[in-house]
Amino acid sequence: MLFCITIALVSSFLLALGLVSGQNQHFFQHHQSAFEPLSSWINDQSQYAQSRILANIAPFADDPSAMAGAVCASPSRAHPDYYYSWTRDSALVMGEILNWLEEDNSTNSQQLNIALASYIGFTRHLQSLDTRYGLGEAKFNMDGTAFTKSWCNAQTDGPAIRALVLIRLAEHWGKESLFESLIHIDLDYVSRVWWQNTHCDIWEESRGLHFYTAMAQHRALRAGAELAQRLGDWEASRKYSTVAEKIETLLLPRFKNHGSHILTTIEWSGGLSSKVSNLDTQVLLASLHYTSGGQGMYSVGSSEMVSTVLAILRRFEFMYDINRVAYTEISGISVPIGVAAGRYPEDVYNGVGSSLGNPWSLVTSALAEYHYRLALAYADAGYLIVSPELIALLKWTAPYIQGNTEQFDLLQHKVVSDSDDHEFRGLLSYLLATGDLYMARVARHTGRDHTMSEQWNMYTGFGRGAVHLTWSYAAHTAAARARSKLIAIIN
Ligand code: NOJ
Ligand code: NOJ
C-alpha cells in the first residue's frame, strides 16, 4: 500500500516531466509489483545478517581459544584464510551493531550489548600488545596474539574507526571513562601518523596517503576533540582539533581531481602500481562512513561525490559478464537490477588468489545505500539543487528503470524544495527506485540460504572468496536501514 503511493508519485512525477509516455508507464506497474518481494527479501536478509554477524564474534563453541570480543572477518580458515580479527572490519561491524541498538528497539539488545562490551575488553587487550606495527597492525589472531607473518602494514584507518565507535559507545552508555582508558590511545596514535605516506590502504595493497584513511582519521579526531572538550580535557581537545584542521585543509582537498572523480591515493610510495585510474569505491565507502547529511566536504550530495559514483558505475557497467542481465526474479516476480561493482577497475584479487577482480557484495550494497542516503540528505535539507552532476547521474540510471531521460534537463540548476511537494517527493522516489536496483542486484547473487560471501564470480554470479564475510552482512544492514528511513519519509 505504502509503495503504491510511492510508485504513483514516481510515475506521476515522471509523467509530469514527460519522462515516461503513457505506454511505457507499464514499467512502474512492474516495479510496483517488485517492491513487496524486494522488501520482504531485505527483511529476511537483514535478520539473517544480524545473526550471522553475532555468530562471527567470539566466544565460539568450536574454538575455545578465540578471545571474547574478537570478530573474525570470515569463518573461512583456508582458501582464503580470513579467520583473523581485522581492526577495520571489527570496528565497522561494531558501529553497525550500535546503529541497530540506537535505531531499532526490536532487536536483541542484551546480546548486542554483550558483543559491544566484549569488544571493549578485546580492544583493551590489543592496545596492550607489543607488536611490530603497534596500533597500526592490520589484523590479529583470533586468540588475541599478534599476527607476525608479512602483511601490508601499517594500516592507520583501523585505530581511527575504532576510536569513533568507542566515542559513540562512551556517549551511548554514558561511560566517559572510555576516553581516558582507550580512546585517547587510538587518537594519539592517529595524531602522530596521519601525514605519513608509507602506510597501506584499506585494500591492503598500496602505500601512500589514502582518501578513506584520511576521512576516517578526520572524523575520529573531530569527534574525539568534542568529547575531550566535554570532559574538560582542553589539551587533548586542542591537539585533536589542530590535527583534524590540518587534515581538512591540507590533505583532503588534495584528493579533488577537478572535473573528474575524487582520487583514492596520492603520494603513492609502494605496493600495487597498476591502479592507474585512481578510481576506487573506497572513496564512496568513506563518504557513507564518515560524512553525514548532504552538505560538507565529500558528503554524499557533494558534486564531487555524485560525479565519482557516476564514474564508478560507468566503469563497472561493462566490466563483468553478470552485468548484462537486467532483471532478476525475487519470489517469482521479475525485478530490475543495477550494476554490480567491485573494489576498483584494475583489481586482480579474485577472493583467493590473483587473476581478475570480481564484483563485491559490500560495494554493491554501498551503491544502494548511497542512493537512499542521497535522498535522505535532500529530505533532511528540505530542498535540492539539481546540479549538472546530479542530472548526469539520474539520466544515466533512467534506462535501467526504463525512463526517457531528456526531460531531466528541464530541471537543470533548479532548486526543488519540499514545498514543491510533487516534484520533490517524485525525485526522492526516483532515488529510492534507483537504490533498489542495487539492492535487487545483491539479492540476485546472495545465496538462497542467505549466505553472503566477499565477492561474486563475474561470469556466473555465484559467491566467491571468503564465505560469510562479516562486512558483507554489515553493508547490507546499513543499506537496509537507510532504505527504511527513506520509505518512512516518502510516505
Ligand atoms: C589479501 C588482501 O586482504 C586483499 O585486499 C588483497 O587484494 C589480496 N591479499 C592480494 O594481495
Ligand atoms: C580484504 C579487504 O581488502 C580488506 O579491506 C579487509 O579488511 C579484509 N579483506 C578482511 O575482510
pLDDT, tens only, 223-246: 999 999 999 999 999 999 999 999
Atom of ligand 2 nearest to the CA of 470: 11
The protein residue whose alpha carbon is closest to atom 10 in ligand 2 is 73
Confidence of residue 403 (pLDDT cuts 50, 70, 90): low
pLDDT tens by residue, 300-358:
999 999 999 999 999 999 999 999 999 999 999 999 999 999 999 999 999 999 999 99
Which of the ligands is closest to the CA of residue 88?
2
How much of the chain, in percent, has pLDDT values that exceed 90? 83
Which of the ligands is closest to the CA of residue 71?
2
Rounded distance from Cα 27 to ligand 2 centre (Å): 38
How does DSSP assign 298-313, residue by residue? Answer: T-TTSHHHHHHHHHHH
Which of the ligands is closest to the CA of residue 475?
2
Contact between 415 and 385 under an 8 Å Cβ cutoff? The reply is: yes
Q: Which residues lie with the beta carbon below 6 Å from any ligand 1 atom? A: 203-205, 349
Rounded distance from Cα 186 to ligand 1 centre (Å): 25
**From the CB of residue 459, how many other CB atoms can be counted at a distance below 10 Å?**
11
> Does residue 375 have a pLDDT over 90?
yes
Residues 51 and 102: their CA atoms lie apart, in Å, by 17
pLDDT value of position 137: 98
Rounded distance from Cα 155 to ligand 2 centre (Å): 11
How much of the chain, in percent, has pLDDT values that exceed 70? 92
Q: Counting every residue, how long is the chain?
A: 491
Instruction: Supply the DSSP symbol for 77.
Output: B
Scanning the structure block, which residue is given the C-alpha cell 577537478? 258
Which of the ligands is closest to the CA of residue 282?
2
In the three-class reduction of DSSP (H, G, I as helix; E, B as strand; rest coil), residue 206 is classed as: strand
In DSSP terms, which residues pair with 334 in a beta bridge?
329
In DSSP terms, which residues pair with 453 in a beta bridge?
467
471 CB near ligand 2 (under 6 Å): yes
204 CB near ligand 2 (under 6 Å): yes
Rounded distance from Cα 125 to ligand 1 centre (Å): 26
Atom of ligand 2 nearest to the CA of 88: 7
Q: What is the mean pLDDT of residues 3-14?
A: 46
> Which of 56, 81, 84, 89 for mutating ligand 2's site (highest number of atoms within 8 Å of CB)?
89
- Give the residue among 249, 262, 220 at the shortest CA–CA distance from 91: 220
The protein residue whose alpha carbon is closest to atom 11 in ligand 1 is 205
Q: What is the Cα gyration radius of the chain? A: 22
> Which of 281, 471, 472 for mutating ligand 2's site (highest number of atoms within 8 Å of CB)?
471
Domains defined along the chain, listed by start:
2-151+274-490 (1.50.10.10)
202 CB near ligand 2 (under 6 Å): yes
Determine which of 122-136, 160-174, 187-201, 393-407 has the lowest per-residue pLDDT on average: 393-407
pLDDT value of position 468: 98
pLDDT tens by residue, 114-149:
999 999 999 999 999 999 999 999 999 999 999 999
Which of the ligands is closest to the CA of residue 471?
2
Instruction: Supply the DSSP symbol for 293.
Output: S
Mean residue pLDDT of the chain comes to 92
In the three-class reduction of DSSP (H, G, I as helix; E, B as strand; rest coil), residue 71 is classed as: strand
> Which of 157, 203, 454 for mutating ligand 1's site (highest number of atoms within 8 Å of CB)?
203
Q: Please state whether 479 falls in left (phi above 0), alpha (psi between -120 and 50) or beta.
A: alpha
Rounded distance from Cα 89 to ligand 1 centre (Å): 14
The protein residue whose alpha carbon is closest to atom 1 in ligand 2 is 203
Residues 11 and 380: their CA atoms lie apart, in Å, by 23
Q: What cell numbers appear for 55 in the block?
A: 555468530
Q: What cell numbers appear for 399 in the block?
A: 534506462
Q: What cell numbers appear for 31 in the block?
A: 516495479
Rounded distance from Cα 273 to ligand 1 centre (Å): 14
- Give the residue among 201, 186, 85 at the shortest CA–CA distance from 139: 85
pLDDT tens by residue, 263-301:
999 999 999 998 999 999 999 999 999 999 877 899 999
Scanning the structure block, which residue is given the C-alpha cell 569505491? 281
Residues 366 and 241: their CA atoms lie apart, in Å, by 29
Contact between 381 and 298 under an 8 Å Cβ cutoff? The reply is: no
The protein residue whose alpha carbon is closest to atom 1 in ligand 1 is 204
SS3 of 79-90: the string is CCECCEEEHHHH
Rounded distance from Cα 202 to ligand 2 centre (Å): 7
In DSSP terms, which residues pair with 265 in a beta bridge?
210
Contact between 244 and 218 under an 8 Å Cβ cutoff? The reply is: yes
316 CB near ligand 2 (under 6 Å): no
The protein residue whose alpha carbon is closest to atom 4 in ligand 2 is 203
- Give the residue among 478, 472, 347, 348 at the shortest CA–CA distance from 82: 472
> Does residue 13 have a pLDDT over 70?
no
Confidence of residue 78 (pLDDT cuts 50, 70, 90): very high
Rounded distance from Cα 203 to ligand 2 centre (Å): 6
Q: What are phi and psi of 85, to 5 degrees?
A: -100, 105
Q: Sign of the CA dihedral 62, 67, 73, 76? A: negative
Which of the ligands is closest to the CA of residue 455?
2
Q: How far is CA 45 from the centre of its chain?
A: 17
